[in-house]
Amino acid sequence: MTALDLLFAPRAIAVLGASATPGKLGAAMADSLASFPGPVMKVNSGRPDPDRGFFPSVGEAAAAHGITPDLVVSCIPAAVTADALREAAAVGARAALVCAGGFAEAGGDGALHQHALAEVVRDTGIRVLGPNTSGFLAPHRRLTASFVPGAPDLERGPVAVVAASGGVNHALAFALAEAGVGLRLGVGLGNSLDVTQADVLDHLAEDDGVRAVALHVETAAEGRRLTEAVRRLTDRVPVVALVVGRSDIGDFARSHTGALATSWRVTRTALRQAGAVLVDDERDLVDAVTALSRVRLPANPRPGIGLVTAQAGPGLLLTDDLRSHGIQVPPLAERTVKELRELLPALTYLNNPVDTGRPSPALTQVVERVSEDPGIDLTAVYGLLEPTAVDLPAALTAARTATPLVAVVGGPVEQARQTRRELGEAGIPCAATPASGSVMVRALVEDAAARTRLEAVLTAPDTPTLPPLGPVDEHTAKGVLADLGIRTPVRRVCADPTAAHAALDDLGGPVVVKILDAEILHKTEVGGVQVGIRTHEELDDALARMPASPALLVEQMAPAGPELIVGVRRDPVFGPVLALGAGGTAAEILGDVSLRLAPLSAHEAHAMLDELATRQMFLGARGTTPVDRARLTHVLLALASLAADDAVAECEINPLRVLPDGDVVALDAVLLLRDPRDQGGSDDA
């Protein structure tokens, strides 16, 4: 039993603000709850009418019904909510749904009301969903705690919706119904005063009836709790996540549920790293979760897709969509093609996609042969309905396949809907268009790939030795990096020009001379870096051009090569975030950066380079030496372990140059420390 069982599975319910006046929220809510099999008590303190079942308080309602309500559903205004809930808690209510708006999201007095409600939670331990939400839906308990018309008719099924907004919860529930998929639990979190996304996900992790979760995120508030909840859940149940905020919608979003503390990119990175499948819009969310509620592939870094199509044109659309999203549609084995040739007319295309040329009676066998191919992990079938030629649901459900199927069925509206429903009920996800079918296949593939990443072992962080608190100069920062096994240039700290000349003799030219001053972060901009110095004369010239500084750093110059930027910083919500980007102007303008939360597995660190748009620059394009992937991975893991120390605020290596031997060297480094006691403890707990 989870802490939210009394919220989502109460024995008895009381409705605050229950009303008999049609059109009032409290009336709509009482109507929706009418199908609940347990007692539903109506409370209306303003116009009590016990003869007609409207009690003045929860206490009196409980006494009359002979049972204490576990759940209180509040339809009363913000200003009176806290007191009413405190009273309900006093008589034994353990959970509440607060529908009213007018709390923190509204500003003004709303913040006071929200504060008062938070105090009730703290004092009484009552769990509160909302405020500012249209409620939740649990069809398998015949429990519709929602005032939205039509909500009580939603059917039970395998999908849970965890939405930031009540409106999105309902919109998704209806869209899933249109896709023929029922609901296990649908929750709109509203302001998330108490019950959060992570709480609901933890609750779902204990629910055997859930087969897939649709997660809608506007504002991630408890970074690591959320990612840990997703990670736990994805072991058993796939999670598909839609994160709002790709564009700058901050102003309206804040008015809706509060400030955005982190970024869209970091939130997506965090959820993906935790094992969620990410989608770009709610249309894709419905398709992806529909597919994953019916089928899940075994963990596989790169599943192969077999395509069978009854019509070449739409099959080409599906093939093109999958391939352009990087999905593997491999050639079939010679043996498979030979077997297919015996099943199909001459002149049809056989080598993935397999074009059967109109819906063929041999479809069942064709799908079986393709699915048995050693390179195929999932078979997708397109068919425009031609019932005179073949019964598509019968043909597909008859196929005894070694691998799961996804179907795409077009055709006359009602017939096609019916066919999709039949296939869905037979456990075969079925889309209406090649584009939707592609979303389904990609969701299954991404989920399978995500689990291979989760299976990889997390790297235990090293424990680097840090300098004392305060500004850190470049030499000291590089010393910390060197201790972590990151290559840095051979260098000398010089107190004065004489020492610098000695260093030149010692190191040999060419060298770089830099000012060494922990207070100056941007040395180049003040003329504090001079490169390519080979002679004592050039050194004197360089020193003359540089600003005064406490000391000088003389370094051996590294050979030319492509440059990367790596760094770690603390996100206010998710804690340490590692970034890898291409150096140089174009990449900076393009924002070509790959992100991961730290700590991370070697597998994740290794994959970061592959996400850069400019990755070819580091993989041997134009005759350059490819970067040594193991060395680069080491640098990333080292920075991640550095950030495990709460005293590290930020560390950046810019540039990290690729040497002719493929190793990487930190040409410049910045390390910013902080006093962890100033931060209210670790932000990534």
Binding residues for a copy of itself, how many (CB under 8 A)? Answer: 95
One residue of 20, 79, 426, 432 binding a copy of itself per CB under 8 A: 432
> What is the x/- site pattern for a copy of itself, positions 298-337, by CB under 8 A?
-------------xxxxxxx-xxxxxx-------------
Q: Which is nearer to a copy of itself, 259 or 347 (CB)?
A: 347
Q: According to the binding rule CB under 8 A, does residue 171 interact with a copy of itself?
A: yes
**Near a copy of itself by CB under 8 A, which window of 54-62, 105-113, 229-237, 460-468?**
105-113
Q: Which is nearer to a copy of itself, 346 or 544 (CB)?
A: 346
End-to-end CA distance of the chain: 25
Q: According to the binding rule CB under 8 A, does residue 384 interact with a copy of itself?
A: yes
- The distance of closest approach from Cβ of residue 313 to a copy of itself in the complex, given in angstroms and rounded to an integer, is 2
One residue of 48, 56, 301, 357 binding a copy of itself per CB under 8 A: 357
Q: Which is nearer to a copy of itself, 528 or 581 (CB)?
A: 581
Q: Which is nearer to a copy of itself, 104 or 396 (CB)?
A: 104
One residue of 1, 21, 252, 460 binding a copy of itself per CB under 8 A: 252
Query: Cα separation of 582 and 174, whole Å?
Result: 44
DSSP code of 520?
-
Q: Which is nearer to a copy of itself, 73 or 416 (CB)?
A: 416
| Site for a copy of itself, residues 505 to 544, rule: CB under 8 A | none
Query: Cα separation of 94 and 107, whole Å?
Result: 28
User: Pairing state of beta strands 551-556 and 511-516?
Assistant: antiparallel
- The distance of closest approach from Cβ of residue 461 to a copy of itself in the complex, given in angstroms and rounded to an integer, is 33
- The distance of closest approach from Cβ of residue 21 to a copy of itself in the complex, given in angstroms and rounded to an integer, is 12
| DSSP element (H, E) containing 608 | helix 602-608
Q: Which is nearer to a copy of itself, 255 or 679 (CB)?
A: 255
Within 8 A by CB and 6+ apart from 11, the residues are 38, 39, 67, 70
Q: According to the binding rule CB under 8 A, does residue 622 interact with a copy of itself?
A: yes
- Contact (Cβ atoms closer than 8 angstroms) between residue 97 and residue 6: no
Query: Cα separation of 566 and 650, whole Å?
Result: 11
CA angle centred on 320, ends 316 and 322, rounded to 5°:
120
Return the biggest CA–CA distance within the chain: 104
| Site for a copy of itself, residues 121 to 160, rule: CB under 8 A | 148-150, 153
One residue of 135, 157, 393, 410 binding a copy of itself per CB under 8 A: 410
| Site for a copy of itself, residues 565 to 584, rule: CB under 8 A | 582, 584
**Near a copy of itself by CB under 8 A, which window of 83-91, 123-131, 387-395, 503-511?**
387-395
Query: Cα separation of 433 and 290, whole Å?
Result: 14
One residue of 117, 617, 636, 671 binding a copy of itself per CB under 8 A: 617
Q: According to the binding rule CB under 8 A, does residue 419 interact with a copy of itself?
A: no
Q: According to the binding rule CB under 8 A, does residue 170 interact with a copy of itself?
A: yes
Q: According to the binding rule CB under 8 A, does residue 212 interact with a copy of itself?
A: no
Long-range contacts of 631-635 (CB under 8 A, 24+ apart): 631/487, 631/662, 631/663, 631/664, 632/564, 632/664, 633/602, 633/605, 633/606, 634/485, 634/486, 635/486, 635/566, 635/664, 635/666
Structure tokens that stand for 307 in this block: 């395509």
Query: Cα separation of 321 and 431, whole Å?
Result: 14
Q: According to the binding rule CB under 8 A, does residue 188 interact with a copy of itself?
A: yes
- The distance of closest approach from Cβ of residue 416 to a copy of itself in the complex, given in angstroms and rounded to an integer, is 7
- The distance of closest approach from Cβ of residue 502 to a copy of itself in the complex, given in angstroms and rounded to an integer, is 33
- The distance of closest approach from Cβ of residue 195 to a copy of itself in the complex, given in angstroms and rounded to an integer, is 17
One residue of 463, 616, 679, 682 binding a copy of itself per CB under 8 A: 616
Q: According to the binding rule CB under 8 A, does residue 23 interact with a copy of itself?
A: yes
Cα-based distances in Å from 491 to 500, 504, 509, 539: 11, 10, 12, 15
State the sign of the Cα–Cα–Cα–Cα dihedral 409, 414, 415, 421: positive
Q: What secondary structure does DSSP assign to 398-420, as a single string?
A: H---SS-EEEEEESSHHHHHHHH
- Contact (Cβ atoms closer than 8 angstroms) between residue 337 and residue 355: no
148 backbone dihedrals φ, ψ, rounded to 5°: -80, 125
Query: Cα separation of 685 and 644, whole Å?
Result: 11
Q: According to the binding rule CB under 8 A, does residue 620 interact with a copy of itself?
A: no
> What is the x/- site pattern for a copy of itself, positions 589-608, by CB under 8 A?
xx------------------
- Contact (Cβ atoms closer than 8 angstroms) between residue 45 and residue 71: no
- Give Cα 49 to chain centroid, integer Å: 49
- Contact (Cβ atoms closer than 8 angstroms) between residue 568 and residue 640: yes
Query: Cα separation of 450 and 254, whole Å?
Result: 32
- The distance of closest approach from Cβ of residue 655 to a copy of itself in the complex, given in angstroms and rounded to an integer, is 14
Q: Which is nearer to a copy of itself, 216 or 514 (CB)?
A: 216
Alpha helices in 66-196 (DSSP H): 78-90, 109-124, 166-178
| Site for a copy of itself, residues 254 to 283, rule: CB under 8 A | 255-256, 281-283
Query: Cα separation of 618 and 6, whole Å?
Result: 55
Query: Cα separation of 302 and 588, whole Å?
Result: 30
One residue of 46, 50, 107, 298 binding a copy of itself per CB under 8 A: 107
| Site for a copy of itself, residues 452 to 511, rule: CB under 8 A | none
**Near a copy of itself by CB under 8 A, which window of 83-91, 368-376, 460-468, 610-618?**
610-618
> What is the x/- site pattern for a copy of itself, positions 362-381, by CB under 8 A?
--------------------
**Near a copy of itself by CB under 8 A, which window of 196-204, 459-467, 510-518, 613-621?**
613-621
One residue of 63, 586, 630, 685 binding a copy of itself per CB under 8 A: 586
Q: What is the dihedral of CA 217, 222, 225, 229, to 10 degrees?
A: -10
| Site for a copy of itself, residues 45 to 104, rule: CB under 8 A | 101-102
One residue of 94, 216, 570, 596 binding a copy of itself per CB under 8 A: 216
